Amino acid sequence: MSKNIFYLLLSFAMLGWGASWVNVKFISSYIDEYEMIFLRFGLASISFIPILIFLKKSFKIDKKSLFLAFLAAIVNVAYMKFFFLGAKLGSAGLGGAFVTTLVPIITFLMMALFFGKKIEKKDILALFLGAFGVLTILGVWNLDSEHIFTKYNLYFVLASFMWPILSIISSKATKIAPLVFIFYMYSITTLLVGIFFIDFSFLSNLSGDFNFIFNLVCIAFIGTTFATTVYFVGIEKLGTNEVSSFIFLVPFFAIGLSSFFLKEKIGIYVIIGTILTIIAVSMLNMGTSKNPSISQRDKKK
């Protein structure tokens, strides 16, 4: 497959991740957060099976990786809960921009504080720029406390902290292919939610409405299975640094799609703040070598 075709597939993958914020906004009118998690990751887990077989990936997993997949699944449930509630109550476009750009900054800080990652002078400048960008996205310069200190902004912040924890846990699973690890994490996520949070009678009451079915199919198969597969296969074929740069498309897709489909009015401060934060993340990543683990998946997931 040519590099140009892979670039096109990666762009569609980022479109899927950006669209997931819009998908959740539509889905939230029909089901709650746990039902969404169950359906999304249940369908994704099933669809991963033929893909892993086609890619000739072994389903074998060692005890340590299985334990890490279990821990990652718990954090994934928390992340998805905050992701769902933030998108439902707030702006999907703002959430897509805020969470996607804040996650790598928080990840960098966690690695520096708890794992001894060295902070250079350029990193300090990048962190200040990133903080300025995040505050701009939130619109603090409007001096409107009612807009800033809202429940959905809190959910976005909590989601932004959950993903780095998930990334760090998954990065410890070094004896298993990333896609196989993700398959087990998704499967365990589905199992945990099904056991502890789901009343399965909801399945008989699922809406046959086109909007619900379309957005569920998009978030499960395009925004999860397709996007994740293309991203990690891309890392194997093209390398981490080249592929990870495509993640910067996600916030702009989220903003654009939210504006088009949800008629959300995205202020100029969100655009400016997103650009500033992306520059900051680029500076933080400059000269570093990333491990092709789940941590590169900024979705969203």
Share of residues in the chain with pLDDT > 90 (%) = 69
Model pLDDT for residues 107-144, shown as the tens digit of each residue:
999 989 888 888 888 899 999 999 999 888 877 776 55
Taking the domains of the chain in order of start, what are their residue ranges? 3-296
pLDDT score of 42: 98
Which residues in the chain show pLDDT less than 70?
Answer: 1, 142-149, 287-301
**What one-character DSSP code corresponds to residue 286?**
T
Quote the CA–CA distance of 125 and 279 in Å, as a whole number: 11
Model pLDDT for residues 252-287, shown as the tens digit of each residue:
999 999 999 999 988 888 899 999 999 999 888 775
* Burial of residue 172 (number of CB atoms within 10 Å: 0-12, 13-18, 19+): middle
Q: Are 170 and 72 in contact (CB under 8 A)?
A: yes
| Overall pTM > 0.85 | yes
pLDDT score of 146: 60
Quote the CA–CA distance of 173 and 101 in Å, as a whole number: 25
